[in-house]
Amino acid sequence: MSLRLLEIARELSYWSPIVLCSIGLPGIILNLIIFLGTKSSRQSSIVYYIIGQSISDFGILLIILLQNYPSTSMSQSTISCKLSIYFSQLTVSCGMTFLCLSSFDRWSCTSRSVRIRQLSSIHMARYLFLISFLFWSLINLPYLFYCDINPYLNQCSFTNEFFAYISVYFLAPIFSTLLPLVILMIFGILTYKNIHYLNHFRNRTHLSIWEQQMTKMMIIQTILSIFCTLPRCIYLIYVISTVNEYLTRSFERIIIEYFIDQLTLFIITMNFASSFYIYFLSSSRLRKTIKTFLKNLFHLQNNQVIPISVQHTANPFTVTKHH
């Protein structure tokens, strides 16, 4: 049983990046094309967070896929070790941050308070878009200095014990899973309450049809993100709480934990590969936009041929003589 579980975990580890990238990367590219190329879409503040999330998601899936092959894995060289860990931490942090900012934007956008609604603005979105990338780029800089190839294990690992402790028990679990999960749950509930209030007073709603559809898209994505993040969060809490038992674990327990580790990684990575399909299924306007884009791309416009009736007469011209 243990060996069978180990085999399943290995297969999951190998095939999940390939499957998720095959599904996620085309969707992310379409996200960027649609939201960057459509002028009407850029008039909403949340689009900046969607673009930031799409860029982060693209980086996450690409890094995961590259780790699947020995020639591009982080254990290949010192440079690949440092850059792979740095950019994986950067993209995951940014991806979860933009998810939280999208949830925050929908809460402020649907608020009854005018002052809170002012937080949902294009100016604020542009500012937070740049600040998020800059902040996480600086926070994750120590990974470039304190990660390298371990010559004894021939794998990428930490070279500083203190930073390893901070990363494993604080940076990775708190900023990548626990804190985003709490934020998503809080603003998801608050947004739902705001929408519930607006539904009782339809004539008082200040949201355009596009903003209403964007809000629907983000609520569905928030719910999915919570369900995708929760298993990983529970697993990390378990790992941290049982760290003192690490050296006394049985062989069967190690295999079970390895299987759960791979399974929860697969589930949380689905969060980074599914945004386009959530938007596509939940927004009729986005579906029309994508349909129009694909028609223009493949020259599938419906060309209508209008028949022209030509009548031939014996005397096409009439000459009148004036006496």
Question: Read out DSSP for 227-284?
Answer: HHHHHHHHHHHHHHHTGGGGGG--HHHHHHHHHHHHHHHHHHHHHHH-HHHHHHHH-H
Low-confidence ranges of the chain (pLDDT < 70): 1, 39-42, 200-207, 300-323
The pairing of beta strand 155-158 with beta strand 147-150: antiparallel
Q: How many CB atoms lie within 10 A of CB 42?
A: 14
Position 247 scores a pLDDT of 76
Q: What is the pLDDT of residue 61?
A: 94
148: which strand partners?
157
pLDDT confidence of residue 195: 86
Output the pLDDT for position 83: 92
- The structure tokens listed for 128 are 């937070």
> What confidence score (pLDDT) does residue 300 get?
63
pTM, two decimals, is 0.84
Angle at 300 between CA 299 and CA 301, to 5 degrees: 100
What tokens were used for 89?
């931490």
Model confidence pLDDT, tens digit, residues 169-191: 888 888 888 999 999 999 999 99
Residue 299's region, left for phi above 0, alpha for psi from -120 to 50, else beta, is left
- 187-208 residue pLDDT tens: 999 998 888 887 766 544 556 7
CA dihedral in degrees (128, 89, 14, 237; nearest 10)? -100
